[in-house]
Amino acid sequence: MTRALLAALALTLAAGSASAQRIHIDVNAAQKPIPVAVQRFAGGDGALADDFYGSLVAGLEFSSVVVHVNPEAFVEPRETKDFEAPAVPCDNWKAIGAEGLVQGELRELQGRAQVRFRVWDTTRCRLLGEVGFRERDRAELPTLARLVADDIVQRFTGRRGVSSTEIAYVSDDGRHNKEIWLMNADGSSKRRLTNNGSINLFPSWSPDAKTLVYTSFKGGLSELYLLFRGTRPGTKLIQTRDEKFRGVWSPNDDTIAAVVSRQGNTDLYTVSASGKDPKRITEDRSIESSPSWSPDGRKLAFVSDRTGNPQIFVKDLDSGEVRRLTYNGDYNASPAWSPTGEWIAYAAQAGNDFDIYLITPDGSFTQPLVTANRGDEDPAWSPDGRKIAFSSNRRGRKEVYRVDVNGQNTTLLTDGAGNCTNPAWSPWLE
């Protein structure tokens, strides 16, 4: 591995030796979750209904913006009795503190689970949107319930929930090699995606969530590879002998921002998902790394040591303008642009460790999101912009956590052998 690549990897992994100035300003006041009564869906056998109900409630609670009302408090039936009724007794639901009501029907037909549901605003006593309909194989019942939960969250908040999404990450599984793994957003159903016995890093999702680009040393050099859902074999992205790492997919098309070390200089390039037409977009003699796209795909945040120490910069791809974003602290790394465009999360060194900070894209305002006595790094946004996954060694080894954007509900997701890093939150799967 060349000196340039080692230095670029160091920038990306946020390894430094200086302190960051902390700015403590609270703008993310906790919002009270919306209390929603969820009736058991009519139809189906007992086990089907029970399994669906448990997964549905868990999906709603995952959102942190909707909370289910304990059925013990219901004065109305716990199960949907008349799905086609033109009205519901809103006063009875409001009396137990429910601001919303979810009703539904669940059926199993030829191995497929079918569900339709409707959502009521009991405060205003009106139906929120049209009746929904979804279906999945019976074996995918938890996924079906999470999809419905995410739809329900959208009815109440205008933004779809993310309990049905996934998180890719890197784990050494207690061994020396690092492989790409995948898990549900709640940390369940962990499964390994690569198994080449080498070092694999930095997964990044395509906009349709069907493909990952990642870095691997399996061929000797650091290269970018594509990994597809299904049985299609993976492929190398760029067919050159240059060292490459950390490809990051544009949120809007098949363009990938890549870090390429060419002739001893490490710069940012863009390339199509076919590997064609690499275009150099930074030409400074410094080391550029860790690109992150703006939601509209017209800007890139990245890390550069052009001013001496690693700092975060933003490049406008239309005008070519580059501006420095971070000034506080001597080592800032791993920028991650929120899908709503409001924030850029990044890792800022505090003493010997790193904390997760938020900064506005114009650099006018910054605040800490996650602080601990150990290092918190690798921020990755959920597609709704309400949560961030990150890696931390607060329990000794590195593990993946998630936290709400208001700094609350920090939750451990990977609790097994080995170190887990580089989380990448998928887009919505549908």
Show the domains of the chain with their CATH numbers. Answer: 3-28+165-425 (2.120.10.30), 34-157 (3.40.50.10070)
Q: Say whether pLDDT at 1 is over 50.
A: no
- Residue 173 banded pLDDT, cuts 50, 70, 90: confident
CA 329 to chain CA centroid, Å, is 26
Task: Express each pLDDT in 259-295 by its tens digit.
Answer: 999 888 899 999 999 998 889 999 888 999 999 999 9
> Which pLDDT does position 287 carry in this prediction?
93
> Which pLDDT does position 230 carry in this prediction?
81
Q: Say whether pLDDT at 45 is over 90.
A: no
Token pair, residue 191, equals 């499964």
Q: What is d(CA 336, CA 308) in angstroms, rounded to the nearest whole number?
A: 22
Q: Say whether pLDDT at 16 is over 60.
A: no
Q: What is d(CA 221, CA 389) in angstroms, rounded to the nearest whole number?
A: 29
In this prediction, residues 380-386 reach a mean pLDDT of 98
- Residue 185 and residue 166 in contact, taking contact as beta carbons nearer than 8 Å: yes
> Which pLDDT does position 400 carry in this prediction?
97
**Alpha-carbon torsion, ordered 271, 272, 276, 277, to 10 deg:** -50
Share of the chain above pLDDT 90, in %: 76
Task: Express each pLDDT in 58-70 by its tens digit.
Answer: 999 999 999 999 9
Residue recorded with tokens 């139906």: 127
108 forms bridges with which residues in the sheet?
A: 113
Task: Express each pLDDT in 338-365 by its tens digit.
Answer: 999 999 999 999 788 899 999 999 999 9
3-state secondary structure of 379: strand
> Which pLDDT does position 14 carry in this prediction?
42
Share of the chain above pLDDT 70, in %: 93
68 forms bridges with which residues in the sheet?
A: 36
> Which pLDDT does position 28 carry in this prediction?
46
Q: Say whether pLDDT at 73 is over 80.
A: yes
In this prediction, residues 238-266 reach a mean pLDDT of 92
Long-range contacts of 370-376 (CB under 8 A, 24+ apart): 370/403, 370/407, 370/410, 371/22, 375/14, 376/347, 376/401
CA angle 367/370/375 to nearest 5° reads 120
Best CA proximity match to 303, nearest among 5, 3, 14: 14
Token pair, residue 66, equals 């909707």
> Which pLDDT does position 9 carry in this prediction?
52
H runs (alpha helix) in 3-117: 3-12, 46-62, 90-94
Lowest mean pLDDT among 74-78, 126-130, 389-393: 126-130
> Which pLDDT does position 104 carry in this prediction?
95
In this prediction, residues 159-170 reach a mean pLDDT of 97
Provide the angle, in degrees to the nearest 10, between the axes of the packed helices 46-62 and 141-157: 40
**pTM of the predicted protein model:** 0.91
> Which pLDDT does position 19 carry in this prediction?
32
Side chain identity, residue 345: A
In this prediction, residues 98-118 reach a mean pLDDT of 94
> Which pLDDT does position 11 carry in this prediction?
52
